[in-house]
Amino acid sequence: MPLLLLPLAVLLLLVVAAASPLVLWRRHRTGRAWRTARGWHLSLMAWTLLPAIPMVLVGAWLAQRWVPHAGTWALCGIVIGSVLAWVRVATMKVERGMDGIRYAPDPWVPLGLALLVAGKLVWVVWAAWQGWRGAPPVDAWWASRVVFFGLGGLLSGHAVAHAWGVRWRLSGVRRRRVRVVG
């Protein structure tokens, strides 16, 4: 019975790998859409993402025994992700209409992050394939492990900073009195 599940698992992995570019493209296209700003939703998103930063840092700190410089890479990733998020918040389009405040985030930064993750996954699959055929180089294996912490820090720093940045920017728009013509 387990031998019958192995080809099904391999087929499922191939379908997911083949569909990944389509999912990335669809996410990029829908990322440009105007979204209605709801205060409770923005607050919920910001507060629930906040524990991601300490979790990445604690995980990197615990892994420093086996992966040298994991904490440094995670912290650098968090800082770079936060800077990217604030650039994205600064370039975000905001408008106020009859139905409330709407915003359209910049879609290029998330597309770049998604392609970065996809590239890392392709590299890991390639390294696993090479390791299966023979012994993997030790330096490449260590570099692969430490880059995971940098990538995790980049993605979590971007998510947290973007959530708090959108919340901050749209709260400033709410406080201003704008007369709506129409």
More confident residue, 172 or 135: 172
What residues does 96 pair with on adjacent strands?
Answer: 101
Whether 13 maps to a domain, the answer reads no
* pLDDT score recorded for residue 137: 61
Q: What is the DSSP letter of 31?
A: T
Whether 85 maps to a domain, the answer reads yes
User: Of 101, 103, 79, which is closest to residue 92 (Cα–Cα)?
Assistant: 103
The predicted-structure confidence for 122-151, as pLDDT tens digits, reads as follows 777 777 776 777 766 655 655 667 788 988
Degrees, nearest 5: CA angle 95-48-174: 25
The predicted-structure confidence for 69-92, as pLDDT tens digits, reads as follows 889 999 999 999 999 999 988 888
| Tally of structural domains, the chain | 1
**pTM recorded for the entire structure:** 0.74
Whether 67 maps to a domain, the answer reads yes
Whether 16 maps to a domain, the answer reads no
Average pLDDT, the chain: 80
Whether 3 maps to a domain, the answer reads no
* pLDDT score recorded for residue 28: 66
Whether 42 maps to a domain, the answer reads yes
Q: Report CA-CA distances (Å) from 157 to 31, 61, 137, 179, 182.
A: 19, 16, 31, 36, 40
Whether 155 maps to a domain, the answer reads yes
Domain residues for the domain of 126 are: 31-175
